[in-house]
């Protein structure tokens, strides 16, 4: 047992520089400061904290994490959230989503051991058949898929999403213009108030669109939506090159049919992955994206 185990447990619901908002078991929120570098934390962390002054607190320790969702590019690492139950990747019929960013988000989630669901929004628009086709490889590899029209069919969309969200901490990610704000406002009628209270405490109203937000979906505080910007420029440098195909379920299914145990699935003879691409069992675009990410991961680091 840690020496802080007699302190209250709290949940980090927002981070802003070196300040955090910590929610206690009664749902009360307060600004907390970490004690020392060791107690650096991210949204979703469970922390041991002690009151300081009249209404603030000190974070003494961060409890061990179940998982950590993050992206890592050449120069920096950005942690999105800890202790996430599931990832919702929101894409839309319009604007057309980047398949490369989609793949990267899925790989980061897989590497963190977090299951993903893809929700296709704006299915009321005429291009929905083409979008469905682009997502066919993802459906085929067993990913959970939802189809929604948050503006067009709000009630049906709520009915699709609610059981999926129930009792879970769901991290939502999606490119700009996909309908993320529409989703939050539809599912969480008091979303503005939840963010506003925090922004006031942190005096950080201007930054609400650049930091991760925690929303409780229900009054009992059992289901949460965690909203974060940062779907673009999604680096996955945390992944070892040899691990990459194992984090892509469609490639993984064929990777053990290769002649060489350390096959990179690029140009080796007797490659099961390339044979599957040629046979149409792995989509050409997924294979191309695999090659691009692999090149990034194996590029010389100075």
Ligand X SMILES: Nc1nc2c(ncn2[C@@H]2O[C@H](COP(=O)(O)OP(=O)(O)OP(=O)(O)O)[C@@H](O)[C@H]2O)c(=O)[nH]1
In this structure, what is the dihedral angle of CA atoms 260, 261, 267, 270, given to the nearest 10 degrees? 40
258 near Zn ion, judged by CB under 5 A: yes
Residue 122 interacts with ligand X (CB under 6 A): yes or no? yes
* Antiparallel, parallel or unpaired: β 86-92 and 169-173: parallel
State yes or no: residue 149 binds ligand X (CB under 6 A). yes
**Binding piece for ligand X, criterion CB under 6 A, among 52-60, 63-71, 106-114, 177-185:** 177-185
213 belongs to the binding site for ligand X (CB under 6 A): no
Residue 265 in the binding site for Zn ion (CB under 5 A): yes
Q: Is 178 in the site for ligand X (CB under 6 A)?
A: yes
* The only residue of 120, 131, 186, 271 in contact with Zn ion, by rule CB under 5 A: 271
- Does 120 contact ligand X by CB under 6 A? no
SS (H, E, C) 214-278: EEECCCCCCCEEEECCCCCCCCECCCCHHHHHHHCHHHHHHHCCCCCCCCCCCCCCCCHHHHHHH
The item of Zn ion, ligand X, none sharing an interface with residue 297, based on CB under 5 to 8 Å by kind, is none
Supply the DSSP string of 66-103, one letter for each residue: S-EEEEE-SS-EEEEEES-SEEEEEEESSSPPPHHHHH
Q: Could you tell which of ligand X, Zn ion, none binds residue 254, using a CB distance below 5 to 8 A set by kind?
A: none
> Which of Zn ion, ligand X, none binds 100 (CB below 5-8 Å, type-dependent)?
none
- For the four alpha carbons of 261, 101, 97 and 88, in that order, the dihedral sign comes to positive
Which positions lie near ligand X, rule CB under 6 A? 121-122, 124-125, 149-152, 174, 176-182
Task: Name the binding residues for GTP.
Answer: 121-124, 174-182
Task: Name the binding residues for Zn(2+).
Answer: 258, 263, 265, 271
């Amino acid at each position: 047992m840690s020496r802080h185990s007699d302190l209250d447990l709290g949940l980090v619901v927002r981070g802003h520089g070196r300040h955090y908002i910590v929610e206690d078991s009664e749902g009360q929120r307060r600004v907390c400061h970490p004690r020392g570098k060791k107690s650096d934390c991210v949204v979703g962390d469970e922390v041991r904290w002690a009151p300081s002054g009249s209404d603030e607190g000190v974070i003494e320790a961060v409890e061990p994490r179940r998982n950590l969702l993050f992206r890592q590019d050449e120069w920096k690492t950005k942690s999105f959230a800890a202790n996430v139950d599931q990832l919702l990747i929101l894409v839309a019929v319009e604007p057309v989503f980047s398949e490369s960013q989609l793949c990267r988000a899925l790989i980061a989630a897989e590497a963190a051991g977090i299951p993903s669901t893809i929700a296709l929004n704006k299915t009321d628009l005429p291009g929905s058949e083409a979008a469905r086709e682009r997502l066919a490889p993802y459906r085929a590899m067993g990913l959970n898929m939802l189809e929604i029209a948050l503006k067009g069919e709000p009630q049906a969309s709520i009915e699709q999403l609610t059981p999926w969200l129930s009792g879970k901490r769901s991290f939502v990610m999606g490119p700009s213009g996909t309908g993320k704000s529409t989703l939050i406002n539809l599912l969480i009628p008091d979303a503005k108030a939840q963010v506003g209270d925090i922004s006031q405490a942190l005096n950080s109203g201007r930054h609400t669109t650049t930091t991760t937000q925690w929303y409780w979906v229900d009054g009992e505080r059992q289901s949460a939506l965690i909203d974060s910007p940062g779907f673009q420029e999604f680096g996955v440098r945390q992944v070892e090159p040899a691990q990459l195909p194992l984090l892509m379920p469609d490639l993984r299914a064929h990777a053990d049919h290769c002649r060489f145990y350390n096959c990179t699935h690029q140009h080796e003879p007797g490659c099961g992955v390339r044979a599957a691409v040629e046979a149409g069992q792995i989509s050409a675009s997924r294979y191309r994206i695999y090659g691009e990410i692999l090149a990034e991961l194996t590029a010389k680091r100075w």
